[in-house]
Amino acid sequence: MRSDPDRVLLSRARRVMALQTAAAITVSLLVLGFLALIVVVHSQNTATTKLLKQTAATTDDVNDPPPDVWIFKQHPDGTVEASEDAPEGLPDHSVLDRVRADGMPVTTTIGGREGGYRALTRLRGDQVVQVVTSRHEQHDELERLLGALAVGEFVGLLVALLSAALLARRATAPLAQALARQRHFVADASHELRTPLTQLHTRAQLLQMDLRAGADLANVTSDVDHLVTGTRHLGEVVDDLLLSSQLSRRDDARLPVDIKAVAADVLANQADRAEAQEVELGLRAGTAGPFVVAGHHAALRRVLTALVDNALSHTPAGGHVRIDVGRSGATITVVVRDDGTGFDPADTERIFARFARGGDHDQRRFGLGLALAREVITGHGGTIEAWGRPGHGAAFTIRLPAAAGGDTA
């Protein structure tokens, strides 16, 4: 079974984002840990140096030194006086001799277990004093710090991986949805275009056959009429597709639009079709005008065209389609109603989905018209609601904010 290329691409993008984010967090933790280690080592060395200098400057004898500190004094005759319990290997006689020779104080590190020792050797009078302190506490502290940093880095790496994976999934979720919508849209649009194209091809073949057979004009008129109707349907689908692609890119420049005038224009353009179907069209407007909104004339006209077209498609001969325009305060209301076949109330929201189908016993397709109607109305700051009952018609109610001033351009 072949993998979905989009799914593979998204999975790869998520992995890359997760690894990059985790790596960035891990490096940040390492830098922070390294800086903390530097600060601790510097603090230890500073404290140790201060202790050695104070002890060397103030000590009068080798007795009672601070904890973990030993004092050694070398007399002019070379004998060395040492604190009790001095570790083996101390003092450092080579350093004592060097300081006695050149008189310069020296700070050295003496090797040993658990960090060794730190020593300060200086000349004091005719004596050379060497103060030595153990570094095992600093050594233990550094080991604890390194252990804590290692655990912290490990835990941080796990948290970074989990967080990065979650963030990557969330970051790519809109892309996954967009790709899914794109696939569905292309598939549905192709299906929607296939029917009128197939009909046009069939009618063109029939017309070609009639013309080659020498049929007179009267016999081919019906085929020509069907061709014209088919091209109109195809043009409507293409218009819907173009409007769909332009909605997200439409600029914010809006002009006053008289909804009543738009409704009258739409009904006038649908008059021939309604007459052919023996459906009565009507327009009723309230007295609380003007009915002006701020918006895009072409888009709003397409909305009303889609709603009237939908109403005519589902209204049998002898039925009625009417547009009611009204105003309540700062809200303009437009209702497109018919007394046709209606629809199941359970489909009230679903019919606004792109290329939605009817329920189990209703094989109608609603195309792009109703979906685009909602997108356009929502983009104008309004709402659109549907009402319907099987056999009792349908009504679509649009509410739009009235334009300030109320005068059309």
Give the model's pLDDT for residue 71.
Answer: 92
pLDDT at 76 over 60: yes
Could you tell me if 29 and 156 are in contact, meaning their C-beta atoms sit under 8 angstroms apart?
Answer: yes
- Locus of tokens 């904890």: 67
Mean pLDDT confidence for 292-310: 86
Rounded to whole angstroms, the Cα distance separating 271 from 279 reads: 9
87 — pLDDT class (breaks 50, 70, 90): confident
322 — pLDDT class (breaks 50, 70, 90): very high
Tell me the one-letter amino acid at 172: T
Question: In terms of Cα–Cα distance, which of 371, 409, 373, 352 is closest to 388?
Answer: 352
The average confidence (pLDDT) of the chain is 81
Give the model's pLDDT for residue 362.
Answer: 47
Question: In terms of Cα–Cα distance, which of 327, 147, 302 is closest to 240?
Answer: 302
pLDDT at 247 over 80: no
Q: Which residue has the higher pLDDT, 213 or 34?
A: 34
Residue 139 lies in a domain: no
| pLDDT > 70 in the chain, percent | 84
Residue 383 lies in a domain: yes
Give the model's pLDDT for residue 3.
Answer: 53
Range of weakest confidence among 88-92, 111-115, 166-170, 404-408: 404-408
Could you tell me if 66 and 47 are in contact, meaning their C-beta atoms sit under 8 angstroms apart?
Answer: no
Mean pLDDT confidence for 297-302: 83
Count: domains in the chain:
1
pLDDT at 5 over 80: no
Task: Residue 334: give its domain's CATH number.
Answer: 3.30.565.10
Q: Which domain holds residue 337?
A: 254-401
Residue 320 lies in a domain: yes
Residue 66 lies in a domain: no
Which two structure tokens, joined as six digits, stand for 405?
Answer: 């001033």
Tell me the one-letter amino acid at 50: K
363 — pLDDT class (breaks 50, 70, 90): very low
Give the pLDDT confidence of 204-229 residue by residue, as tens digits.
Answer: 887 788 788 877 777 677 777 777 77
pLDDT at 359 over 60: no
At a CB cut-off of 8 Å and minimum separation 6, what does 346 contact? Answer: 359
Residue 133's Cβ-count burial label (10 Å; 0-12, 13-18, 19+) is buried
Give the pLDDT confidence of 278-299 residue by residue, as tens digits.
Answer: 999 999 998 877 899 998 887 8
235 — pLDDT class (breaks 50, 70, 90): confident
Mean pLDDT confidence for 107-136: 87
Residue 142 lies in a domain: no
Query: Which DSSP string corresponds to 367-390?
Result: TTHHHHHHHHHHHTT-EEEEEE-T
Mean pLDDT confidence for 252-278: 87
Rounded to whole angstroms, the Cα distance separating 271 from 128 reads: 118
Rounded to whole angstroms, the Cα distance separating 255 from 409 reads: 7
Q: How many residues appear in the chain?
A: 409
394 — pLDDT class (breaks 50, 70, 90): very high
Question: In terms of Cα–Cα distance, which of 81, 89, 88, 84 is closest to 69?
Answer: 84
- The top-scoring range by mean pLDDT among 32-41, 163-172, 210-219, 358-367 is 32-41
Mean pLDDT confidence for 374-389: 89
245 — pLDDT class (breaks 50, 70, 90): low
Residue 33 lies in a domain: no
Tell me the one-letter amino acid at 290: P
Residue 43 lies in a domain: no
Residue 195: in which H helix or E strand, if any? helix 136-212
Question: In terms of Cα–Cα distance, which of 231, 331, 241 is closest to 291?
Answer: 331
Give the pLDDT confidence of 160-177 residue by residue, as tens digits.
Answer: 788 877 877 777 777 777
Query: Which DSSP string corresponds to 101-134?
Result: HH---EEEEE--GGG-EEEEEEEETTEEEEEEEE
Which two structure tokens, joined as six digits, stand for 290?
Answer: 């003007």
Q: Model pTM?
A: 0.48
Going from the C-alpha of 279 to that of each of 236, 271, 310, 334, the distances in angstroms are 21, 9, 13, 20
Residue 40 lies in a domain: no
At a CB cut-off of 8 Å and minimum separation 6, what does 365 contact? Answer: 192, 355, 356, 357, 358
Mean pLDDT confidence for 93-113: 88
| pLDDT > 90 in the chain, percent | 21
Give the model's pLDDT for residue 337.
Answer: 94
